[in-house]
Structure 1
Amino acid sequence: MPLMRIQLDSDKNTARRVLELHQAGKVHHESRDAAREEVWRHGRTPAAEPVFVGTTNGEPVRLIYDVEVYLDITR
């Protein structure tokens, strides 16, 4: 399955919290849901749950998710 990389705008505190949850083996549901919605906005259908990859170092901070998508199915 192909991957779609999604970047979500965030603030430093939220990004730190998402990273801490990820390191503890937990999920930040709000950002994961936002990543899934972004895939739908791009006209693709998610094939799996978004996977947190990390954050950017720039300003604004962005959360990075990879999402498996179906190739030939669009909304």
Structure 2
Amino acid sequence: MPIRRKATEAGVLQPSELELFGRVFEQLKRDGQSPEARDAIASRIIANYMAGVVDEAELVSLSRQPLGR
């Protein structure tokens, strides 16, 4: 699953954080998405979390949008 690989790359995380990422990822992924699209979702989830977004609903909402640069 892309979210676990991306989370591992991000550093040491608690099991509860991985569970949160998994729940959010399951809500955002779509059937037929390319591996690249799923990787992008996983990256957005982790980036938003690392930026301080810890509420699950807010993480889902923000991770639907591309990362601002």
Relative to the length of structure 1, the TM-score reads: 0.31
State the structure with more CA Rg: 1
Greater strand proportion: 1
Q: Which has the higher contact order (CA 8 A, sep 6+)?
A: 1
Relative to the length of structure 2, the TM-score reads: 0.33
